[in-house]
Amino acid sequence: MSNPQNNLDFDYRYGFAMPQNYTFKAKKGLNRRIVAEISALKNEPAWMTEFRLKSYDIFTRKTIPVWGADLSKIDFNDIYYYIKPTDKQVNSWADLPAEIKETYDRIGVPEAEKKFLAGVSAQYESEVVYESINRELDKQGVIFCDMDTAVRKFPDIVREYFGKLIPPPDNAFAALNSAVWSGGSFVYVPKGVTVTLPLQAYFRINDEKFGQFERTLIIAEEGSHIHYVEGCTAPIYTTDSLHAAVVEIIVKKGARVRYTTVQNWSKNVYNLVTKRARAEENAIMEWVDCNLGSQVTMKYPSVYLMGRGARGEVLSIAFAGRGQHQDAGAKMLHFAPNTSSRIVSKSIAKDGGRTSYRGLVQVMPGAKNSSVYVSCDALILDEASRSDTYPYMKIKENEVAVQHEATVEKLGEEKLFYLLSRGLKKSEAEGLLVNGFIAPVTKEIPMEYSIELNRLINLEMSGSVG
Amino acid sequence: MLSLNNLTVKVGNKEILKKISFEFAKGKIYAIMGPNGSGKSTLAYTLMGHPAYEVASGSLRLKNEDILSLPPEKRAEKGIFLSFQTPLSLSGVRINQLLQLALAGKKDPLTLRRTVQKYAKALKIKEELLTRSLNDGASGGEKKKMEVLQAAVLDKEIIIFDEVDTGVDIDALKTIAQFLDKTKGQKTYIIITHYQRILKYLKPDKVLVLADGKLRKVGDGKLAKLIEKKGYEDVINS
């Protein structure tokens, strides 16, 4: 193992933001030349350069959506679109530059946990610098690498699927991501292969005014099975940041994919993510989506149920505190017979925070014997907070079972009194009730994440998180 | 131990309890009886510190300390427990989670689990009730047993039972009463009830009769029997 020569003897400070040693720092703002430069720096094939430039042109013609959260304060000229933290990729944890390790330690990626992970792909700034692929994955023929590497090493497969499920014209932020994307994961699971442990990736933004545009593509071949987990935590900054990711997932016949997100961006981030999956015959796609952080989130994971018997599920949690707006939901599109979808959404608004459930369920003509289940519950903790529900249903087939439930409740004074009478402090009682409210979703996510989530909720309730 | 002096309580503008004075002594069993709407539950809530019940005048002292200004969680800390007439269902909250927080780390999770299991067995509570959401889908009797279980684990000095016998079948009632009987003498029990039947198993040292928000009569165990025979009106006016 070679001893890395770079940047190891810097003066460590106990601040949360680490000193940065970039080898390249782009200028703020965006134009065709910067897009071409990003592609050139990455040594990309011509087709990708073209794809980026075309996407940039589309982005310039797109309008920013006004039907959801307020996005008017995003200044697209005040954002860095690409930063490359180190020159080379590293293969083992030991080779990681110390400051990057420190950053991950602060997030709390435990040393011991690594043993249990099937692979770790840690994104620092906009490029994946650490990546460890378990031998077992290699043996099974599973590919798990960062998207940049995939473009170089597996061009045929990437070209076949990249930007097909979410083409650049889909929406302004998909177009923007397509133009300037960097990092993210590429996962390919061969036919019949089951990956038993969840694949995990840790993301964070670590530069002021730096936007992050990762791109993830997952292909699950026939009868394969995989669980992908992404979690992100970021330090608190004073100026706005933009996170606009794109995630595309292809779930082939009889395959099953679960994609779990625990999102805790700092409270100044605009988190505008497009997530879409295509489920073929008897395939199962499950999105588990937990949104705690960010200033504004707009995210509606969707499943296109294309094959007979396909099943889609979205389980989501949204928490909005002071100054936050979580506009989240799900989309289910039934194109084939015997398809089923289930949406369970739990949202919590506190200290003037705002949550919106925005969902679309569409059943196409001919999607007979399909079933739809939508349940959205909102919890409002005080008078200053707000919650809205926009559940759209377009059912164009008669032989369909549709079930829809929606509740809005306040944290009951009687329940609080009950717990206080047992000796719990008010913040403990609130934390317990809120965690109980989201339990149907948290019990579906890996334990270390649900513990972290419960802890974050308790911190929010005790008011010690700003 | 717990002394009420001219306690007057209002809900909104309405006076519910009027000038109640009484001293509950340590280690004794008290029964509070009275017709519907006489203020029995109000008294229970007031002792525990429910924010909707406003003490207009009078005093409430626990071991000579004024506790009127204390919030419910502080009163719990000082040694008061209230077993609810209608225990609430708490979705997604398991009894162990609640008790762990209530004990504030005084028992480690493993010891707590063993303690809970021990008392659950004594109270004939089904194992599955301990692992699901508290009181979710539980019968009336099961809910009341879960209240008694919490009272036992938290081990407070003064335990107020608000109709622990209502909606409970005879077997469950016997189990609860016999369970409580084991710790009598060490605890102060304040049993709010409509019926004599629980008092057959748990002999009260004193019976208090409330009517129209006033403490109308105080007697021994025989008073409960008399009420059963003659009704409240006759007993109060005699």
pLDDT values of chain B reduced to their tens digit, one per residue, 238 residues: 999 999 999 998 999 999 999 999 999 999 999 998 999 999 999 999 999 999 999 999 999 999 999 999 999 999 999 999 999 889 899 999 999 999 987 888 889 999 999 999 999 999 999 999 999 889 999 999 999 999 999 999 999 999 999 889 999 999 999 999 998 888 999 999 988 889 988 999 999 999 999 999 999 989 999 998 898 888 888 7
Nearest to B101 among A414, A418, A424 (CB): A424
Measure Cα distances from A59 to A13, A49, A54, A55, A178 in Å. 40, 15, 9, 6, 9
Query: What chain A residue is nearest to B134 in terms of C-alpha separation?
Result: A436
Nearest to A423 among B50, B97, B154 (CB): B154
Does B71 touch chain A if contact means CB atoms closer than 8 Å? Answer: yes
Residue contacts between A and B (CB atoms, under 8 Å):
69
Residues of B in contact with A436 (CB under 8 A): 90-93, 133
Residues of A in contact with B72 (CB under 8 A): 417, 420-421
Residues of A in contact with B91 (CB under 8 A): 436-437, 439
Are B76 and A439 within 8 A, CB to CB?
no
- Bridge partners (DSSP) listed for residue A302: A276, A331
Where does residue B121 rank: exposed (0-12), middle (13-18), buried (19+ CB within 10 A)? exposed
**pLDDT confidence band for A100 (50 / 70 / 90):** very low
Name the residue with higher pLDDT: A252 or B105. Answer: A252
Asked if residues A243 and A272 have their Cβ atoms less than 8 Å apart, the reply is yes
Look at residue A345 and tell me whether its pLDDT is greater than 80. Answer: yes
Nearest to B73 among A412, A415, A423 (CB): A423
Look at residue A253 and tell me whether its pLDDT is greater than 80. Answer: yes
Model confidence, pTM: 0.79
**Most confident residue range from A92-96, A289-293, B95-99:** B95-99
Query: What chain A residue is nearest to B82 in terms of C-alpha separation?
Result: A421
Nearest to B92 among A412, A420, A437 (CB): A437
Average pLDDT, chain A: 82
CB proximity list for A104: less than 8 A, separation 6 or greater: A122, A202
CA distance B188 to chain A (A): 17
CA distance B30 to chain A (A): 21
Residues of A in contact with B53 (CB under 8 A): none
CA angle B190, B153, A412 (to 5 degrees): 75
Residues of A in contact with B87 (CB under 8 A): 418
**Nearest-angstrom CA–CA distance, A146 and A131:** 8
**pLDDT confidence band for A207 (50 / 70 / 90):** very low
Are A432 and B97 within 8 A, CB to CB?
yes
CA distance A434 to chain B (A): 9
Are B73 and A432 within 8 A, CB to CB?
no
Does B11 touch chain A if contact means CB atoms closer than 8 Å? Answer: no
Measure Cα distances from A128 to A2, A28, A124 in Å. 20, 21, 6
Does A440 touch chain B if contact means CB atoms closer than 8 Å? Answer: yes
Nearest to A422 among B71, B76, B92 (CB): B76
Does B77 touch chain A if contact means CB atoms closer than 8 Å? Answer: yes
**Nearest-angstrom CA–CA distance, A169 and A160:** 18
Nearest to A420 among B73, B87, B99 (CB): B73
Asked if residues B142 and B125 have their Cβ atoms less than 8 Å apart, the reply is yes
Largest CA distance in chain B: 55
Residues of A in contact with B49 (CB under 8 A): 421
Does A453 touch chain B if contact means CB atoms closer than 8 Å? Answer: no
CA distance B201 to chain A (A): 26
Does A83 touch chain B if contact means CB atoms closer than 8 Å? Answer: no
Query: What chain A residue is nearest to B77 in terms of C-alpha separation?
Result: A423
**Nearest-angstrom CA–CA distance, A399 and A348:** 35
Residue type at A232 in one-letter notation = C
Surface of A (370-429) touching B: CB under 8 A: 412-415, 417-426, 428
**pLDDT confidence band for A463 (50 / 70 / 90):** low
**Nearest-angstrom CA–CA distance, A256 and A192:** 10
Instruction: Report the half-sphere exposure of A401 (CA within 13 A, side-chain side).
Output: 9
**pLDDT confidence band for A275 (50 / 70 / 90):** very high
Does B104 touch chain A if contact means CB atoms closer than 8 Å? Answer: yes
**Nearest Cα to Cα of residue A180 among A144, A153, A210, A140:** A210
**Nearest-angstrom CA–CA distance, A187 and A220:** 8
**Nearest-angstrom CA–CA distance, B156 and B190:** 12
Q: What is the phi/psi pair of residue A267, to 5°?
A: -75, 15
How many residues in total does chain B contain?
238
**Nearest Cα to Cα of residue B200 among B180, B185, B183:** B180
Q: First vs last Cα of chain A: how many Å apart?
A: 43
Question: Under DSSP, is residue B161 helix (H, G, I), strand (E, B) or coil?
Answer: strand
- Bridge partners (DSSP) listed for residue A387: A355
What dihedral do alpha carbons A23, A28, A34, A38 form, nearest 10°?
40
| pLDDT tens, residue by residue, B199-211 | 988 999 999 999 9
